Homo-oligomer: A and B are copies of this chain.
Amino acid sequence: MYDRIKGFRDFYPDEMQAYRATFDTLEDTARGYGFREIGTPALERTQMYVDKSGEEIVEELYSFEDKGGREIALTPELTPTVARMVVAKQQELSKPIKWFSTRPFWRYEQVQQGRFREFYQTNIDIFGSAEPEADAEIIATAADALTNLGLENDDFEFRVSHRDILGGLLASFDADVDTEEAIRTVDKSDKISHAEYMDLLVAAGLTYDQAEQFDDLLDCDPDELDDLIEFAGTERVEKAVTNLQNVLAAAEDFGAREYCTLSLETARGLDYYTGVVFECFDSTGEVSRAVFGGGRYDDLIEGFGGQPTPAVGFAVGDATLSLLLQRAGVWPDEELSTDYYILKVGDTRKEAARIARALREQGHVVESDVSSRSFGAQMGYADSINAKTVVIVGEQDLANDEVTLKDMESGDQVQVPVKDFPAAYDEPRVADFE
């Protein structure tokens, strides 16, 4: 007996059905906004990830040399691949480019609750618009996807920030600040004590008073954003604040403002974000990590050798999303369902098959015996697959030009004429004949 590799999962039909329903809803929501599906390779040059994220990323990659001597890696995320694809057809593609896809990714990480080495993500991105409407459409698509999955307003919140407000505020202090270090500190501020937070900001170059002042500034209501402009007095902060205000105003028009909370501490770990960023959190706090996140990354395409192309998007992973949906009690049903089981008794295969085919052509899920089993064994199987109705095709009944319909919930059964069955009905049920 072989074992599965650690951090990888087998999805049996019951669990798979729930994941399929979840991703279908995400994708249907994206399709409604005119996002188009793309298909992408599982392997890319390792160099692509090193260039984007530095040598240390290799530690997290499933990377190896292929038989042709190429240094390749199992893709740990979609963005570099999509950037490569945009650059390759930059001239032909009409802008905005609106793409989505759902597929597995791989990272060699510590396995823990909600974190696997193989995980599934839906990525949704817009390339070619720097306007606040693009950021807002991404936020609205994410919000619609969650409400379409059955979540309510009080189940989740999007914590929204702007990368350049943090950077701009830090730059406005009279101090030699390590901006990236300071932003990383902000990003983890809710996981550490206030004292530790202050210490790390001081270590990043602020005085203690400046650190306190910075912390106060970040604790800002939406209607106080203009105070930040005044404090900093720089065009950089003014532009960032105005952009964030414009995105929130567009989100209001797009019906998604109600899900957004201003949260300047939200920085998103990844260095490649350049503008508005957001993270989705479980409002109850039961799912303690961010469920997913996204934001604007205007420099990536150019960094990949393309023309300057603004970009904004988000990615939802299967593990944290399923935790949120389960917590909220809206995780899809894992019970399999079957519309009809065609039970044959004796030498009735031809007629049983005719009925099965006709019901399938009507669009139903129809199983029939492929194991030459007894009446009782077939009934047991029909029950195990949650068949709603069993059509019993017996020699005796057929001799009377009848078949028997059995409702598996009530146990009621009824004999119906086999002539015109099932053609005369859309979805014949026992109750139709009682």
The yes or no answer to A388 lying at the interface (CB within 8 A) is: no
Complex Cα gap A40–B68 (Å): 27
B16 touches A360 (CB 8 A): no
B372 touches A41 (CB 8 A): no
B104 touches A32 (CB 8 A): no
Known A47-B2, A253-B350, A371-B128; contact A67-B108, beta-carbon cutoff 8 A = yes
Q: Which residues of B contact A62 (CB under 8 A)?
A: 43, 64, 66
Q: Which residues of B contact A414 (CB under 8 A)?
A: none
B41 touches A366 (CB 8 A): no
Q: Which residues of B contact A336 (CB under 8 A)?
A: 36
List the B residue with the shortest CB-CB distance to A87.
Answer: B1
B371 touches A5 (CB 8 A): no
Partner of A41, one of B10, B353, B360, B363: B10
The yes or no answer to A255 lying at the interface (CB within 8 A) is: yes
The yes or no answer to A89 lying at the interface (CB within 8 A) is: yes
> Contact mask A25-57 → B, CB, 8 Å, 1/0?
000000111101111111111011000000000
The yes or no answer to A88 lying at the interface (CB within 8 A) is: yes
Interface residues on A, range: 35 or more
Partner of A89, one of B12, B47, B64, B99: B12
Partner of A366, one of B4, B32, B48, B384: B32
The yes or no answer to A199 lying at the interface (CB within 8 A) is: no
List the B residue with the shortest CB-CB distance to A5.
Answer: B43
Known A255-B357, A384-B94; contact A349-B250, beta-carbon cutoff 8 A = yes
The yes or no answer to A425 lying at the interface (CB within 8 A) is: no
The yes or no answer to A239 lying at the interface (CB within 8 A) is: no
> Contact mask A332-344 → B, CB, 8 Å, 1/0?
0000101000000
Complex Cα gap A242–B125 (Å): 58
Known A34-B365, A133-B349, A349-B250; contact A118-B41, beta-carbon cutoff 8 A = yes
The yes or no answer to A431 lying at the interface (CB within 8 A) is: no
List the B residue with the shortest CB-CB distance to A336.
Answer: B36
Q: Which residues of B contact A304 (CB under 8 A)?
A: 1-2
Q: Which residues of B contact A365 (CB under 8 A)?
A: 31-32, 34
Q: Which residues of B contact A19 (CB under 8 A)?
A: 39
Q: Nearest 6 pairs between A and B by C-beta?
A: A11-B39, A13-B36, A34-B367, A64-B64, A1-B305, A8-B41
25 interchain pairs (CB within 8 A)? Answer: A1-B84, A1-B88, A1-B304, A2-B305, A4-B41, A4-B88, A5-B44, A10-B84, A10-B85, A16-B37, A34-B365, A42-B74, A42-B106, A62-B64, A64-B64, A67-B108, A94-B381, A95-B381, A129-B371, A133-B370, A133-B372, A134-B371, A144-B360, A250-B349, A255-B357
